[in-house]
Amino acid sequence: MTAHLNGFKAALSASKLQIGLWLGLTSPVTAEVCATAGYDWLVIDGEHAPNDVPAMLSQLQVLAAYDVHPVVRTVAGETWMIKQALDLGAQTVLVPMVETPEAAAELVRATRYPPMGCRGVGAALARASRYNRIPDYLATANDQVALIVQVESRSALAQVAEIAAVPGVDGVFIGPADLAADMGFLGDPSAPEVRAAVLSAIRAITRVGKPAGLLTSDRSFAMECIAEGAVFVAVGSDVGLLTSSTAALRSGFPKSI
Ligand SMILES: O=C(O)C(=O)C[C@H](O)[C@@H](O)CO
């Protein structure tokens, strides 16, 4: 019996649309508020938000009570970072700035136990195995772990089909902000050239039978990407929602005299 099925991985494999939200506030309280809003996945962002290991752990613990899938984004694709995220209990890891199929293959190895990979065995101490209370954790972990790689440069985009096709890559996320920067549109992920590149990448990923994903807070572009075949689409962030709604609320009242 597999005690911890990765429903998100199964949904991606079945091309079942998954709508997500970015978590950058590092709070288990706000994570729990977001967990009851109806999203399918929530990204605990360790790349651009100060989500350190204790913060990741507390958010993973609160999210476990809800029907939402936590995804942990590591700062980079270092084997030790991935090992730490998986042992914390993340079943799906998102790794930024993946440039080549070879790099993707190394990341696959980092997420899987031998003989498929090189993930270090520490289940006896790890929340991932519920501290060894999941009897078949080691035997089933490789099948339940999901690796999502981020493609977010012109050079990576040129090899996106090859990256997507790497066995063990369970999804490819296109990063519009970094792709825009690399394309010369720093700060403008909505530039027509960037959007065209994102849509082209979605088609290429889908053609090799892998799920494509992205983050965009532009609803019309999100719907366009979904129509193009995107499967896992994050549509905003807790930070963005808080900054915009707090300002909007205040603007409805007279300025302080
Ligand atoms: O490049 C991107 O876009 C992403 O990878 C998502 C961003 O990093 C996210 O933090 C929003 O800025």
Of all protein residues, the one whose alpha carbon is nearest to atom 12 of ligand 1 is: 177
Ligand 1 atom nearest to CA at 237:
11
**Which residue has the CA at smallest separation from atom 10 of ligand 1?**
48
Homologous superfamily, domain 7-251: Phosphoenolpyruvate-binding domains (3.20.20.60)
Contact 54, 26 (CB under 8 A): no
Q: Quick check: pTM over 0.90?
A: yes
Q: H/E element holding 22?
A: strand 18-23
Buried b (16+ CB within 10 A) or exposed e, 163-190: bbbbebbbbbbbbbbbbbbbbebeeebe
Six-digit token pair at 233? 């689409």
Helix or strand run (H / E) with residue 20: strand 18-23
Ligand 1 centre to CA of 179 (Å) is 9
Q: Per residue in 208-242, pLDDT tens?
A: 999 999 999 999 999 999 999 999 999 999 999 99
* Nearest alpha-carbon partner for 201 in 143, 160, 152: 160
* Cα–Cα dist 239/197, whole Å: 26
Which tokens in the block code for residue 42?
């929530």
Residue 141 has pLDDT above 60, yes or no: yes
Question: Residue 181 in contact with residue 203, Cβ under 8 Å?
Answer: no
* pLDDT tens-digit map of 152-209: 999 999 999 999 999 999 999 999 999 999 999 999 999 999 999 999 999 999 999 9
Residue 176 CA to ligand 1 center (angstroms) comes to: 7
Does the annotation count 48 as an active-site position? Answer: yes
For 83-139, write each residue's pLDDT tens digit.
Answer: 999 999 999 999 999 999 999 999 999 999 999 999 999 999 999 999 999 999 999
What confidence score (pLDDT) does residue 4 get?
Answer: 82
Closest CA to 239 of 49, 63, 60, 78: 49
- Most informative mutation of 25, 41, 48 for ligand 1 (most atoms within 8 A of CB): 48
Q: What is the pLDDT of residue 257?
A: 78
The interface predicted TM-score (ipTM) is 0.93
Out of 4, 48, 109, 130, the active site residue is: 48
Domain range summary for the chain, segments of one domain joined by +: 7-251
CA-to-CA distance for 123 and 130, rounded, in angstroms?
8
Coil/strand/helix, residue 63? helix
Pocket, ligand 1, Cβ cutoff 6 A: 22, 45, 48, 96, 150, 152, 175-178, 215
Per-residue pLDDT tens digits for 2-11:
558 999 999 9
Contact residues for 232 (Cβ-Cβ < 8 A; gap 6+): 8, 12, 17, 18, 20, 40, 41, 148, 171, 173, 211, 212, 213
